[in-house]
Every structure is written in structure tokens, then in C-alpha cells.
Amino acid sequence: MLAFLTKRIGAGLSVLLVVPSLTFLLMFGNAANAARQILGESATPEQVAAKSAELGVNRPLYVQFVDYVGQLFVGDLGRSWFTAEPIGSLLASRATVTLTVVIGSILVSTLLAFALGIAAALRRGALDIALQVLAIVGFAVPGFWLALLLVSNLALQLRLFPATGFVAFTASPGQWLASITLPIVALMVGAVAGVAQQVRGSVIDVLEQDYVRTLRARGLPSWRVVAHVLRNASAPALTVVALTFIGTLSGAVFVERIFALPGLGLAATNAAVNGDVPVIMGVVLVMTTIVVLVNLVVDLAIGLLNPKVRLS
């Protein structure tokens, strides 16, 4: 298990090193005329040069990189080029919003998807056909369109939920729940469809295994057989949950814009519109860290469930 964990942590670290580094080199390597963009066409060359020096983009790329990495170690993600806000504190509050919505959606959708997938695999028939339909619909329906329909119908027409904004849990648990319900529902549909389909497939695969017949031949009650099946089927399903998590982070970018949730995705969208490179860089860094951590948790869960994985 230790060797397995070391290997997975190593893989995670390599992603954490390479992805943000590449992003940094690509983005800052291209930021030479950032000052001109910020100041506009009317600025004098002197003003542009002064702004470049202020942003630090006139230095050689490797110096900027070493400087950035050095600052990271003291927890400094730099400042926004436009608002001069420190990015670390800006993203900390935003990560809370994004993670609330994304983790909420993943938890609810995973529970639902396992229930649906297991039921469809065990019962087949009409429920199974319904799941196939859901799989196609969930895959094909653009999540942001779904979010738009939810806002337009449930929030604006029927006024069942707030259309925009995020309320902190500490401020009001009830309003907090109301503010995240529609975003979570919008993010969930695709996730449920994808994961349920995988759960169904793996459960059916495991049900065909010889050892399940042998377990039945020993006269175990159904729930005990299902427990065996589930433990064996959950590894591939959890792998899909990890992938779905990344997809849900993508989805959060749209959902945050539609529901005006001050999360990482909205920060990235606004920064991309302005060309606020350090903010996007910060979002990339934070999101890569989140993804690596989630993958590690999922790997750990798979390792605990499946002893063979621990060895390979």
C-alpha cells in the first residue's frame, strides 16, 4: 500500500509541477506587450515602459519564473494586473464557492448514480432502458443551457429560488442551500448520467464473474452478494467519478457566470476577458492542486477497495 501511495503521490506531484509551469511559461512568455494592452493605444512609450517595469514583465522569462516560484513558497500568488488585489486572498474565498457547488454536485450525483446504476444492473428491464435514455440526454444536453432554463423557469418565472448570488453558510444556512440548489442541479445531470452508466456497466460485468455465482451457490443473502459485487464494481466507477469531477469544474465556469456566483470560474472568465494573466495563472494553480488532491483521494479509495491495485 505504501509503494502504491508513493507512486500515486509522485504522479500527482509531477502533474502539479508540470502543468502550472507550462502554463506560466506559455502565458508570461507572451506577456511582453501586456502593458500596452492595459494602458490602451493613447499611452506614451514611457508610460508603457514604466507599466512593464511595474508588472515585471520586462524581465527575462526565467527570472520571472524563478521569482514566481519563490513567491509561491511564501504563499504569494502575485497581484492582479488590473485591480492590484493580492491573488491569494482573492482566490481563497472564490475557491470556497466553487468547491461548495462542485463537491455538493459530485456527492449528490455520485450517490444518485450508484443507486440508479446498481438498480438498473440488477433489475434490467424498464429501469435499465430509462437509464440508457438518461445517459444519452445527460451526455447531449448542454449543461449551461440547462442552467439557463432553470434560471428562467424556476428562478425568474416561478420565483422558487434566487436567480443569482451566493450566501455563505455562516450567514444563513437556509439561504445558502437555496443559493446553491439550482447550480448543483445544473451541474448534476451530466454527471449522474455518466457515472450511472459506468456503475451499471461494471456491476453487470462483475455479476457475470464466476465468483458471484459461487457466492450465490453458498446461499448468501442478496444484500451480501450485492456488497461483494459493489466492492468489485466500484473501482472503475470511482475512476469515472474522478474524471467527472474535472468535468464538473469545467461546468462550474458556466454555472458561476449564469448564477453570478463569485467562484474560481467567474474569476477565470473575467480575467480572460481582460487578459489579467496573473489571475488566470492563479486559477490554473489552484484548480490543478484541487484536481491532484481529488485524484489522490479517489486513488486511495480504490486502493482500499481493491487489494490488487495496491500491488500493481
Partner 1 sequence: MSQLVPIPAPTAVPARRGVISKVVHDPLGVISLVALLLIVLATVLAAVLAPQDPARSSLDDIFAPISAAHPLGGDSAGRDLLSRLLYGAQVSLLGATIALLASLVIGLPAGLIAGYYGRTFDSVSSWASNLLQALPAIIVLLALRTVFGPSIWTSMVIFGVILAPGAYRLVRATVSGVRNELYIDAALVSGLSDTRIIARHMLRVVRGPLIMHSAMVLAICINIQAGLEFLGFGDPQTASWGSMLNEGFLNIFQAPQMLFWPGLALFLTSAALALVASSLRDALQAGAAKPVRRRSVKAPPAGNGAVPSDALLSVRDLRVAYSGGSVEVVHGVSLDVAHGEVVGLVGESGSGKTQVALSVLDLLPTGGQVTSGAIALAGEPLLGRSASFLRTVRGHRIGYIPQEPLSNLDPSFRIGNQLSEVVRVHLGLSRAAARDRVLDLLARVGIPDPARTYRAFPHEISGGMAQRVLIAGAVSCDPELLIADEPTTALDVTVQADILDLLRDLQQEKGLGVLFVTHDFGVVADICDRVLVMRQGEIVEDGPAEAIFDTPQHDYTRSLLGSMLDGRPARLARVKATGDGRA
- Cβ 136 to partner 1 shortest distance, Å: 5
- Cβ 170 to partner 1 shortest distance, Å: 28
Is 187 among the residues that bind partner 1 (CB under 8 A)?
yes
Among residues 288, 295, 193, 298, the alpha carbon closest in space to that of 238 is found at 298
Is 138 among the residues that bind partner 1 (CB under 8 A)?
yes
Give me the residue label for grid cell 475512476: 239
Q: Indicate the residue among 11 and 167 with the shorter CB distance to partner 1.
A: 11
DSSP 233-267: HHHHHHHHHHHHHHHHHHHHHHHHHHTT--SHHHH
Of 12-20, 38-46, 48-56, 83-91: span binding partner 1 (CB under 8 A): 12-20
Instruction: Report the amino acid identity of residue 211.
Output: Y
Residues 107-136 that bind partner 1 (CB under 8 A): 123-125, 128-129, 132, 136
- 10 Å CB burial of residue 70 (0-12, 13-18, 19+) is exposed
151, 168, 189, 229, 256 from 95: Cα distances, Å:
23, 13, 22, 37, 12
Is 281 among the residues that bind partner 1 (CB under 8 A)?
yes
- Cβ 298 to partner 1 shortest distance, Å: 13
| DSSP state letter for 61 | H
25, 218, 267 from 69: Cα distances, Å:
12, 60, 22
| 3 state DSSP class of 213 | helix
Question: What is the pattern of x (binds partner 1, CB under 8 A) and - over residues 143-182?
Answer: xxxx-xx-xx---xx-------------------------
Q: What is the dihedral angle through the alpha carbons of 168, 170, 174, 179, rounded to the nearest 10 degrees?
A: 10
Assigned C-alpha cell, 69: 516560484
Which of 3, 66, 137, 160 contacts partner 1 by CB under 8 A?
137
Is 68 among the residues that bind partner 1 (CB under 8 A)?
no
- Cβ 101 to partner 1 shortest distance, Å: 12
Among residues 55, 30, 51, 27, the alpha carbon closest in space to that of 39 is found at 51
Question: What is the pattern of x (binds partner 1, CB under 8 A) and - over residues 209-238?
Answer: xxx-xxxxxxxxxx-x---x--xx------
Is 196 among the residues that bind partner 1 (CB under 8 A)?
no
Please give the size of the binding site for partner 1, defined by CB under 8 A: 98
Is 284 among the residues that bind partner 1 (CB under 8 A)?
yes
- Cβ 285 to partner 1 shortest distance, Å: 10
Is 3 among the residues that bind partner 1 (CB under 8 A)?
no
Q: Indicate the residue among 32 and 115 with the shorter CB distance to partner 1.
A: 32
Q: Indicate the residue among 168 and 243 with the shorter CB distance to partner 1.
A: 243
